Structure 1
């Protein structure tokens, strides 16, 4: 096998589509199919489950992916150091929430900078609920995002972690804290602080419907950090990802409520417009993510 074969394999594990992979790799769908078939023959195992609608990596593909991502990233690094093909230059635009900037990106950007020091990074921060739209509207090349159950068409994602959604109440002695401490909790009386738009909001609304309770919405805010701040001030209860609580400087000012049933966790990772993977800088960043977090969707 050669580097080109590994690149085609990695692209197919991300796009899960022969047509999309052919565009990313600048090859015909039949050529992509032949490349994958030769790779499977060489490895002696099936890497993808194919049907009329989709392509799904097998467990063997997930194992091989770790090797392939490392091998391609190392080859590109050696090529750049030796001057073969020139050093990668250009820029890349990334969207992330404040929490993602200090909890997720530090796991990727230092290695990317070490491999590609001449690529300039532009970082845009904002509400996590706007991450996918920023990608779709071509405001950025990639975004750290929480993934909905259905990924928008034209977007490819790579899962980096899974985080629970948790109810939080203030530790401050106040009416909200007193209500949240009752058993059973009077959910209809508790003021709720919720995201303006986010994956979490949909799950919260479903949770209240299952409970048969109409939430008493106190405020709609942009950003999980704002929710925590308002909860800490005693304005209401909120629902935020566990990662945000863990990394927050005011985590001691809120407490996690034990609820049953709990809220569904969600996946967090990198989202990119599929056609943007034709960019050398975007593809380089994507591969570093894949090497650090060999898990995808």
Structure 2
């Protein structure tokens, strides 16, 4: 068992597809299969269930996955410590954020980070921002950009970068609920809503329903990912309460089909960086944390 074997194993855990992992990791499928078999022989248990249609990780495989993540992190940290006599950071940093955050917040941070630490390899994955904390806790990501959840887990640190305003998005084109929406007092009980599955936005939407005394809202769909919700509003499926930044970073042809209503519907929420507290001592993560800290960035600009 070596570091390369563990990296191949972790990639296969994500894809559950031998061909995809073999292509991405530049090995032949037969080589990948032999290395996975070698790991299974080492641990004495099957790590995957294979058949002609799918590959599934076993319970033992999940435990080995956690072990592999820890070993690779420790290996990277050791490499950093050994190679840092010239103060250059070298290694891989796994980032997670929504597609919107990749446009709205990440570029400025990465610009600063890459200037100071050009030898750090950034691995970016995108998905539902509501999953950010879970990605951090499971070590699937080293750092995530997300809204601050209602309750921050004890082992997670959050660095505020700014605030996100919530807005109500409605379709411009006439729809089956247009008459109810454009009344002097909208008939919210009979207007279809498209909701995020969970996360800070969903928490504020649920509070808004209570404030409006909407005990049984008409829900058209619950969707993972704010970007998909904007598209559904544009298609006339319903209305949505979403972070304004999602609307602002949507494609123009989508924005043209949507109207933004009152921006005073609810309080904004904090957006920032999430990381495991115990990992803030790792130099690559600490460097990214400092590159994201508004106070440190402003002080640096003032010094110039």
Say if 2:223 is the partner of 1:221. yes
Residues in 2 aligned to 1:176 and 1:293: alpha-carbon distance in whole angstroms: 47
Residue matched to 1:289: 292
How do residues 141-160 of structure 1 correspond to structure 2 at under 5 angstroms? 141-160=142-161
Q: Is the 8 A contact 2:89 2:120 kept in 1?
A: yes
1:266, CA displacement in angstroms? 0.3
- Work out the CA distance in 2 between the residues paired with 1:93 and 1:188: 43
- Please show how residues 1-297 of structure 1 align to structure 2 within 5 Å: 85-213=86-214, 214-249=216-251, 250-258=254-262, 262-290=265-293, 291-292=296-297
Q: What is the Cα deviation at residue 84 of structure 1?
A: 5.5
How many angstroms apart in 2 are the aligned matches of 1:253 and 1:128?
24
* Rounded Cα–Cα distance in structure 1 between residues aligned with 2:123 and 2:243: 25
Query: Which SS does the other structure have where 1:148 is aligned?
Result: coil
The TM-score with structure 2 as length reference comes to 0.66
Residue of structure 1 equivalent to 2:58: none
How far does residue 86 in structure 1 lie from its aligned partner after superposition? 4.0
1:80-110 CA deviation, whole Å, 9 max, x = no partner? Answer: xxx9534210111100100000110001101
* CA deviation vs aligned residue, 1:44-67 (integer Å, no higher than 9, x gap): xxxxxxxxxxxxxxxxxxxxxxxx
TM-score (norm 1): 0.68
Q: Secondary structure at the match of 1:138?
A: coil
In structure 1, distance between residues paired with 2:97 and 2:298: 18
Structure 2 unaligned blocks of 5 or more = 1-83, 300-304
Q: Could you tell me how far 1:203 is from its partner in structure 2? A: 1.3
- Alpha-carbon contact 1:108-1:292 (below 8 Å) kept: no
The CA deviation at 1:293 is: 6.5
C-alpha distance in 1, partners of 2:263/2:112?
Answer: 39
Structure 1: runs of 5 or more not aligned? 1-82
Residue aligned with 1:282, SS: helix
1-structure distance, mates of 2:114, 2:188: 48
Shift of 1:134: 0.5
User: Structure 2 CA distance, aligned partners of 1:216 and 1:292?
Assistant: 45
C-alpha contact 1:171 1:177 (8 A) present in aligned 2? no
| CA-CA distance at 1:128 after TM superposition | 0.7
Tell me which of the two structures has the higher relative contact order, counting C-alpha pairs closer than 8 angstroms and 6 or more residues apart. Answer: 1
Give the SS at the match of 2:262. coil
Greater Cα offset, 243-252 or 279-288: 243-252
CA–CA separation in structure 2 for the residues paired with 1:158 and 1:219: 32
- Matched positions, count: 211
Partner Cα distance (1:116, 1:180) in 2: 51
